[in-house]
Amino acid sequence: MYVFYGELDSLNKIKEAADNREREIRYFDPNDLDSSSKEKLIDFLRKNERKVEVLTFLELGREELISLSGEMEKKFPDIPQIGVISESEEFDVQNTGLDGLDIVEKEERLVSSLFKKIDELFLKEKSEELKKIIASSEEEIAIFIHDNPDPDAIASAMVLEDICGSEGVEAKTYYGGSIGHPENEIFLENTDFVLQKLEERDVPEVIKKSEKIAFVDFAEASSNNILPKDVEPDLIIDHHYTSRDISTGEYNEIRSDMGATSTIMTKHIQNLDLKVDPLLAAALLFGIKVDTDDYTKNISTADYKVISYLSAIADKDILDILKSPPIHSETLDAMGRAISNRDIEGSVLTSFSGKISHPDDISRIADLLLRERDISTVLVYGIKDKKIHMSARSKDLQINVGRIMDRAYSDIGEGGGHEHAAGGMIPLEEFDDEKEAAEKIADLFKDELWGK
């Protein structure tokens, strides 16, 4: 959550940029005549302190800024502060005695400068918070990634293991399902990364013996993962959009404004000044590449900066191997069924690929079908282990498939993701049979898409 304190007349451009980041925003106007805006601000921060990522003061006078920032620092020392000042204002923050205030000068590019500072400040604070929580652990931390994990999840978990190791804390990474994509298989064969495959019967023992539970690249137990619904994590690190109120016991970092969890974890490496191994750098780079569809979708400035950093370090031999991995025959069969079952209405294509061997194949098929001429939005779905796995893609700038998937399927399963790429899963038992499932899945998607 971003909190701004300043005259509303000066907030229009900033408000638009903040809203685009899918962040909850609160504004307090010092000229509010109804009641004391400062007291309203204090009351709000007191009730929402854990949710507030940054408090920004807009164009206050020097003395008012120093006074107000000092008061907020005493009351809420864990909330980072930024003060926007005019270019003519002389302001040396080091001489004010304020440790928690950063300064941004008002200029023509105020919006980009301000949000760059917010990002830097937020990520630095989160890195120190993550390190502190890990260092407080005396026993093993169990890191869970989603079922059938992709490169982004695997690489991100490896970074969290490294951070734990740097603090002398043991950590292991667990997953359910299988390693499906050939890229993942090849990568694990050529590295020393160790993942612990779990069966459902083994989960309670892992939970029992671990001091902390971390969710990486997902945010909810039982949502495309082997964990039961009642498992509450101590840490969440994810980049997928969700409309649900997600909270944890100690650490919560969901950055839907970034293209991959690998980007978040690389920023932690940089902020904590940790050395990154070339193999791990390659894994992170490949994780971003896959999740952003070869650096073309849902990609942010932060992703580009991280890509540049990792490219100079990454093991080039591994990246060359990953460029053209083999395709399983089962994947080709699923592609064939999806191509044959295409149902097209206008520029929207939906397709049922039947029973699949690898849930990750669905996203690959969706990417392929989106390339069909005159098609702008695609939904592909298939069945694996009595679950319907779904993947949606869109190149229509007016459509946010992450929100569509969330609204269409949240009552009977799960769905969500980014503006142009999303996924979901529904238990097959929600339907009478496979035929009904194949029909209703497409209908729910199109009804939400077209507002029926």
Does the pLDDT at position 273 exceed 60?
Answer: yes
Report the CATH number at residue 49: 3.40.50.2300
Q: Which residue has the higher pLDDT, 130 or 191?
A: 130
Cα–Cα distance measured from residue 226 to residue 10, given in angstroms and rounded to the nearest whole number: 48
147-182 pLDDT, tens per residue? 889 889 999 999 999 999 999 999 999 999 888 677
pLDDT bucket at 100, cuts 50 / 70 / 90: low
Q: What is the mean pLDDT of residues 289-305?
A: 86
pLDDT bucket at 442, cuts 50 / 70 / 90: very high
Q: Do 337 and 438 belong together in one domain?
A: yes
Last residue of a domain, one of 292, 323, 354: 323
128 occurs within a structural domain: no
Angle at 302 between CA 117 and CA 106, to 5 degrees: 25
pLDDT of residue 96: 64
Report the CATH number at residue 252: 3.90.1640.10
| 443: its two tokens | 């209908």
356-380 pLDDT, tens per residue? 988 889 998 999 999 999 999 999 9
Q: Do 8 and 110 belong together in one domain?
A: yes
Q: Do 73 and 176 belong together in one domain?
A: no
Residues whose CB is less than 8 angstroms from the CB of residue 396 and which lie 6 or more positions away in sequence, other chains included: 347, 376, 377
H/E stretch holding 153 reads: helix 151-166
pLDDT bucket at 91, cuts 50 / 70 / 90: low
pLDDT of residue 8: 61
The residue ranges of DSSP E strands in 191-255, in sequence order, are 196-197, 212-216, 235-238, 251-254
pLDDT of residue 130: 96
391 occurs within a structural domain: yes
pLDDT bucket at 313, cuts 50 / 70 / 90: very high
Q: What is the mean pLDDT of residues 48-77?
A: 86
366 occurs within a structural domain: yes
Q: Do 245 and 274 belong together in one domain?
A: yes
Q: Among residues 39, 36, 89, 31, which one has the least CA distance to residue 65? A: 89
Least trusted range by pLDDT, from 191-195, 212-216, 395-399, 425-429: 191-195
pLDDT of residue 97: 61
- The strand pair at 348-355 and 343-345 is best described as antiparallel
Report the CATH number at residue 404: 3.10.310.40
pLDDT bucket at 135, cuts 50 / 70 / 90: very high
127 occurs within a structural domain: no
Q: Do 71 and 158 belong together in one domain?
A: no
123 occurs within a structural domain: no
pLDDT of residue 186: 80
Last residue of a domain, one of 289, 323, 357: 323
66-89 pLDDT, tens per residue? 889 999 999 998 888 888 876 555
pLDDT of residue 21: 64
pLDDT bucket at 63, cuts 50 / 70 / 90: confident
H/E stretch holding 57 reads: strand 54-58
Q: Do 103 and 190 belong together in one domain?
A: no
Cα–Cα distance measured from residue 339 to residue 42, given in angstroms and rounded to the nearest whole number: 58
133 occurs within a structural domain: no
pLDDT of residue 301: 83
Q: Do 309 and 213 belong together in one domain?
A: yes
pLDDT of residue 61: 78
How confident is the prediction for the chain on average, in pLDDT?
A: 87
The distance of Cα 363 from the centroid of its chain, to the nearest Å, equals 17
Q: Do 290 and 206 belong together in one domain?
A: yes
Q: Which residue has the higher pLDDT, 324 or 131?
A: 131
The answer to whether the CB of 229 falls within 8 A of the CB of 251 is: no
1-37 pLDDT, tens per residue? 889 888 766 666 677 666 666 677 888 887 765 557 8
Does the pLDDT at position 262 exceed 60?
Answer: yes
Map tokens 């499932």 to a residue.
437
The residue ranges of DSSP E strands in 106-186, in sequence order, are 141-145, 171-175
**Longest distance between any two alpha carbons in the chain, whole Å:** 71
Q: Which residue has the higher pLDDT, 419 or 260?
A: 260
pLDDT of residue 417: 85
Domain count, the chain: 3
387 occurs within a structural domain: yes
Q: DSSP state, 326?
A: -
Q: Do 299 and 415 belong together in one domain?
A: no
Q: Do 53 and 194 belong together in one domain?
A: no
Q: What is the mean pLDDT of residues 124-133?
A: 92
The residue segments making up the domain with residue 388 are 329-450
pLDDT of residue 106: 66
Last residue of a domain, one of 323, 346, 366: 323
Q: Do 75 and 145 belong together in one domain?
A: no
Q: What is the mean pLDDT of residues 245-263?
A: 87
Q: Do 301 and 337 belong together in one domain?
A: no
Least trusted range by pLDDT, from 94-108, 147-161, 320-334: 94-108
